[in-house]
Amino acid sequence: MITSKRLGWDRRRRLELALRSSNPLPNIRAGWDRQRRNLMPVATGTIAAGDGKFDITATNAFSEFGVDLSGYQTGDYILAAYNTATDYGIYGWISGTAPGGETLDAELLTNANLNAGDTGWYKEGGWTIIDQGGGNYAAVATNLEGNLGIYQTVAYVEGALYKSVTECIELTAGSFAILYGKGPYAMSDVFTTIGVKSFYVTNIAAFNGGLFPISYYSGRSVGDTLKLDNNSHKRLTDCAATGALIVSAHGGATRAWAYQHASFNPNAEMTYKVFYVGQP
């Protein structure tokens, strides 16, 4: 006679085996529906490209993407996601400990507020960094003939989540954006208004090399003017309380994802699902 305890162990073991694949979610459906175990998601949806905030390091894993996950912070739920275009997946257990709120590490940019002039910054054609009065400098783009920018290189932690910020103080026409990476890169929304603009990006191996440029670029027309100030680039060490800290095992404490395909891209469009597993 199989005991209920044994049934519980079998369910958890089947779940782990089903999830260990390049695309865990179809295997959950195939494996568990065939066994009539009724493992069905309690929440599902789509995460637009650039809207997911994922730390996929082996020591500080968390996720936040605009959906309130606080109701699943009991230690008994799995968060799984896969890239829409490639089916590459990731999954982990939602910790019973709630996140402490968005927390930023030290500033990574040199001369982030530009008040030391050109120090730390590389400028492409059409860009200058000049005093706007009273020692308050700004990066100014005029008479550009293409998509050109200012940038600098920053040290990174692979798999960590970063927040980039700039303040547009003048924009006579056209648009601008924030870029991260070289070769393959991630790009923010294209901005067309003044004000403070933010961009979140997870550093992944596909971005190449050990240092990555954080760039502010513009496709201005001749005669148009763009002014940027008060830049910032910092690592996130915690996420909003409505997000989720991730642990690698049911009932565990190690802050890592249980499984991650080597080509999973947390900056791309994804489908997510939350599953209830029960007590370990």
My answer on whether 229 and 116 are in the same domain is: yes
Q: Which residue has the tokens 């910790």?
A: 95
My answer on whether 62 and 120 are in the same domain is: no
Split into its structural domains, the chain has a count of 2
The pLDDT of residue 208 = 54
My answer on whether 86 and 118 are in the same domain is: no
How crowded is residue 131: how many other Cβ atoms within 10 Å of its Cβ? 12
The pLDDT of residue 223 = 65
Mean pLDDT of 245-270: 94
Task: Provide the 8-state DSSP code for 159.
Answer: T
- Residues 138, 129 contacting (CB under 8 angstroms): yes
My answer on whether 262 and 212 are in the same domain is: no
The pLDDT of residue 222 = 59
My answer on whether 175 and 197 are in the same domain is: yes
My answer on whether 113 and 228 are in the same domain is: yes
Q: What is the pTM of this model?
A: 0.84
My answer on whether 42 and 156 are in the same domain is: no
pLDDT digits (tens, 9 = 90+) for 107-125: 999 999 999 999 999 998 8
By residue range, what is the domain housing residue 74? 4-102+239-276
pLDDT digits (tens, 9 = 90+) for 259-271: 999 999 999 999 9
Q: Which residue has the tokens 């680039």?
A: 233
What would the two tokens of residue 202 be? 């997870």
Q: What is the mean pLDDT of the chain?
A: 83
- Looking up residue 201, the CATH number of its domain turns out to be 2.60.120.260
Radius of gyration (C-alpha) of the chain in whole angstroms: 22
My answer on whether 110 and 217 are in the same domain is: yes
CA 88 from chain centre, in angstroms, equals: 16
My answer on whether 12 and 74 are in the same domain is: yes
- In the chain the beta strands, taken as DSSP E runs, fall at 41-47, 53-55, 62-64, 77-83, 89-94, 103-107, 122-123, 127-131, 137-142, 148-155, 161-171, 176-180, 186-187, 195-202, 211-218, 225-238, 244-247, 259-260, 270-276
